[in-house]
Amino acid sequence: MKENPKHIRISEYNYPLPDERIAKFPLPVRDQSKLLIYRHGEVSEDVFTSLPEYLPAGSLMIFNNTKVIQARLHFRKETGALIEVFCLEPIQPNDYVLNFQQMEHAAWLCMVGNLKKWKDGPLCREMTVKGFPITLTATRGECRGTSHWIDFRWDNPEVTFADILEVFGELPIPPYLNRDTEESDKETYQTVYSKIKGSVAAPTAGLHFTPRVLDALTEKGIDLEELTLHVGAGTFKPVKSEEIEGHEMHTEYISVSRSIIKKLIDHDACATAVGTTSVRTLESLYHIGVTLANNPEATEEQLHVKQWQPYETECDVRPVVALQKILGYLDRHGMEALHTSTQIIIAPGYDYKIVKAMVTNFHQPQSTLLLLVSAFVKGNWHTIYDYALGHDFRFLSYGDSSLLIP
pLDDT for the residue 26: 95
Burial class (CB in 10 A: 0-12, 13-18, 19+), 238: exposed
The mean pLDDT of the chain is 94
- A 10 A CB-CB count for 181 gives 15
Rounded alpha-carbon distances, angstroms, from residue 77 to 19, 80, 115, 121: 35, 5, 12, 10
The H-assigned helical ranges of 170-275 are 185-188, 211-219, 258-266
Yes or no: say if 38 and 255 are a contact pair by the CB < 8 Å rule: no
Using CA atoms, how far apart are residues 204 and 64, in angstroms rounded to an integer?
Answer: 10
- Write out pLDDT tens, residues 71-127: 999 999 988 899 999 999 999 998 899 999 999 999 999 999 999 999 889 999 999
pLDDT for the residue 13: 96
Give the largest Cα separation in the chain, rounded: 62
pLDDT for the residue 315: 79
User: With a cut of 50, which residues of the chain have pLDDT below it?
Assistant: 1
pLDDT for the residue 238: 79
Rounded alpha-carbon distances, angstroms, from residue 143 to 73, 76, 117, 231: 18, 21, 16, 22
pLDDT for the residue 314: 79
pLDDT for the residue 3: 62
- Write out pLDDT tens, residues 220-240: 999 999 999 999 877 767 788
pLDDT for the residue 1: 42
Using CA atoms, how far apart are residues 184 and 178, in angstroms rounded to an integer?
Answer: 16
Rounded alpha-carbon distances, angstroms, from residue 240 to 111, 119, 231, 342, 367: 19, 29, 20, 21, 10
